[in-house]
Chain A
């Protein structure tokens, strides 16, 4: 039996408290009026920013052919109305959502200010969402890995099942947090999802066309369905896994095998749709067909990395004595392979869009090229070049501290990946990796550690009886 060490428990709690403070600071300092937003921008960027910003504005409007159409069609008399309509079409102009409540008649100059205000208001929400989704995604990735191990009847991994089950314990609480966030967004408490705002949709023919799918009610129903399915599998499979320990035959094992195979079918469909709903719809004008796979690769590699890190940690504390270097080696091979798989999907998505350069698709990357150069290319180095070179040599995959160090880099890289998927759509060019973002990471990291390690104390760390357990014990590469 594992006992949650006091030091780790306190660290987790400290992380949560510091994270909460960070997030709180984010919400507290978010400007509530246009004037405050402008002042905050002045102090943050100095004089140089004015030019920058307006050019960004221009790009966003030019890129959008559709904006022109609506602009011409608009019948409303005053200029503010017109530009409002045009504005709300910019992919990165989620901010236009709040146009309605802040000074409407201010004309174009003020419009700029409102856009700025909304980006800034979105920042703490996005920081919260990036952290919440990232850690939720890790446990979902582990769940997929676990189901694959069961469905494939892998002989090496049963000894790690309890660790994986521990990590997926975060699925329910993490999922509820993400769900509450989505619910608040659908109820327009924030302006993260532009399509949830009827004022935006009214002027946006493209979103209107998608309204059959992208509407708050259906969005929430889908979220309930997906989360319900995942959490159900997690709980039921865990129950069967524990039942197998006490059983006198292999019935729970066989049942779990069938359940896992069925879950994988559900997972592939639901995960793909989840990525359209929760991430891709942040940019409701943009679409990509392999996006679901891309998000999957990201969560899969983060999940496997987390399994490796937690396994090595528990082993170093003397809890997983039967886990040998070969198990770590296998996990590290997965980290290496799936990192490259992620890069393959990243590149396939990027290169196809770059090559064809169709305006309606390319805006997505224009935004990231223009304003997110460092995180965008930095994550490529962290997620591809670094694991490629470090984990290529077979010998290095057996050195525990090497795997841990690479794992931390990969996890940070995939946080940046989530960051790059969320931020450009919500805060646009006003991004920082500052107190709210770090607060978001810390809070959820603390919660994740707390939930996962608490779950690990519940049961023995190695399954007692499983047809493949002995093979797993003897596993040697």
Chain B
């Protein structure tokens, strides 16, 4: 049996927040919430797990730093240690201040870009991706909450209207 999804539309983020809290209290599982803009505190109200993207970014930064160090060490110290303007190319440490700008920039470059790519992958965003929008109005001024219909559909509908929904879409039985 295919799961049925109820869609409740709200026209104010305050009402949305209260609705989400109420639905969580009533133990209704929220499938997804669509909003036109970030609603502060919605993730906490929904009980979403904290993002780990900053941890990923930190690790990417470390990779970038290592890349820079290995690269500069190989090129400037190991492969061809020339005397360029009297800079001491005898060991990495001796000439390190000159490499710091590169080490810094590569750290930032790796951390930033790989983090963005991770974000795209994890949130499944790419060019030519088909938009998954249940209702066009959610990109402008409406908020939409998707909930699974349980056994008592009438009661759920009542509950959704109770929370201040301006409209509740009940799909036809598949």
Encode contact with A along B47-78: 1 for CB under 8 Å, 0 otherwise.
00000001000100000000000000000000
A-chain residues with CB within 8 Å of residue B86 when the two chains form the complex = 357
Of all chain A residues, which has the CB nearest B101?
A351
A134, B34: Cα distance in complex, Å = 54
B54, B97, B98 interface centre (most CB from chain A within 10 Å): B97
Residue A347 interfacial (CB < 8 Å): yes
Q: Which applies to chain B's interface (DSSP): helix, strand, loop or mixed?
A: helix
Decide: A351 and B100 in contact? CB cutoff 8 A: yes
B105–chain A nearest beta-carbon distance, Å: 13
A-chain residues with CB within 8 Å of residue B97 when the two chains form the complex = 347, 350-351, 354-355
Of all chain B residues, which has the CB nearest A393?
B54
A392, B61: Cα distance in complex, Å = 13
A350, B98: Cα distance in complex, Å = 11
Decide: B98 and A355 in contact? CB cutoff 8 A: yes
B-chain residues with CB within 8 Å of residue A350 when the two chains form the complex = 97
B172–chain A nearest beta-carbon distance, Å: 44
A88–chain B nearest beta-carbon distance, Å: 30
Of all chain B residues, which has the CB nearest A357?
B86
Encode contact with A along B94-122: 1 for CB under 8 Å, 0 otherwise.
00011010000000000000000000000
A347, B98: Cα distance in complex, Å = 11
Of all chain B residues, which has the CB nearest A395?
B50
- Interface size on B, as a range, is under 10
Residue A288 interfacial (CB < 8 Å): no
Decide: B100 and A347 in contact? CB cutoff 8 A: yes
Encode contact with A along B9-36: 1 for CB under 8 Å, 0 otherwise.
0000000000000000000000000000
A339-392 residues at the B interface, CB under 8 angstroms: 347, 350-351, 354-355, 357, 392
A313–chain B nearest beta-carbon distance, Å: 30
Residue A394 interfacial (CB < 8 Å): yes
A262–chain B nearest beta-carbon distance, Å: 36
B66–chain A nearest beta-carbon distance, Å: 16
B-chain residues with CB within 8 Å of residue A392 when the two chains form the complex = 58
B85–chain A nearest beta-carbon distance, Å: 9
A-chain residues with CB within 8 Å of residue B58 when the two chains form the complex = 392
A357, B58: Cα distance in complex, Å = 35
Of all chain A residues, which has the CB nearest B55?
A393
Decide: B100 and A394 in contact? CB cutoff 8 A: no
Decide: B54 and A394 in contact? CB cutoff 8 A: yes
A-chain residues with CB within 8 Å of residue B100 when the two chains form the complex = 347, 351
B-chain residues with CB within 8 Å of residue A357 when the two chains form the complex = 86
A350, B58: Cα distance in complex, Å = 27
B52–chain A nearest beta-carbon distance, Å: 12
A392, B100: Cα distance in complex, Å = 20
A360, B98: Cα distance in complex, Å = 20
A392, B54: Cα distance in complex, Å = 10
A354, B97: Cα distance in complex, Å = 8
B-chain residues with CB within 8 Å of residue A347 when the two chains form the complex = 97, 100
A351, B58: Cα distance in complex, Å = 26
A434, B17: Cα distance in complex, Å = 61
A394, B51: Cα distance in complex, Å = 12
A354, B99: Cα distance in complex, Å = 12
A354, B98: Cα distance in complex, Å = 9
A357, B98: Cα distance in complex, Å = 12
A304-359 residues at the B interface, CB under 8 angstroms: 347, 350-351, 354-355, 357
A221–chain B nearest beta-carbon distance, Å: 39
A355, B100: Cα distance in complex, Å = 12
A-chain residues with CB within 8 Å of residue B98 when the two chains form the complex = 351, 355
Of all chain B residues, which has the CB nearest A354?
B97
B157–chain A nearest beta-carbon distance, Å: 35
Q: Which residues of B contact A (CB under 8 A)?
A: 54, 58, 86, 97-98, 100
Would you mind naming 12 contact pairs between A and B with Cβ atoms under 8 Å apart? A347-B97, A347-B100, A350-B97, A351-B97, A351-B98, A351-B100, A354-B97, A355-B97, A355-B98, A357-B86, A392-B58, A394-B54
Using A347-B97, A355-B97 as known contacts, list a sample of 10 further A-B pairs with CB atoms less than 8 Å apart, ordered by residue number in A.
A347-B100, A350-B97, A351-B97, A351-B98, A351-B100, A354-B97, A355-B98, A357-B86, A392-B58, A394-B54
Q: Which residues of A contact B (CB under 8 A)?
A: 347, 350-351, 354-355, 357, 392, 394
**The 9 residue pairs across chains A and B that have the minimum distance between CB atoms:** A351-B97, A354-B97, A355-B98, A347-B100, A351-B100, A355-B97, A350-B97, A392-B58, A357-B86
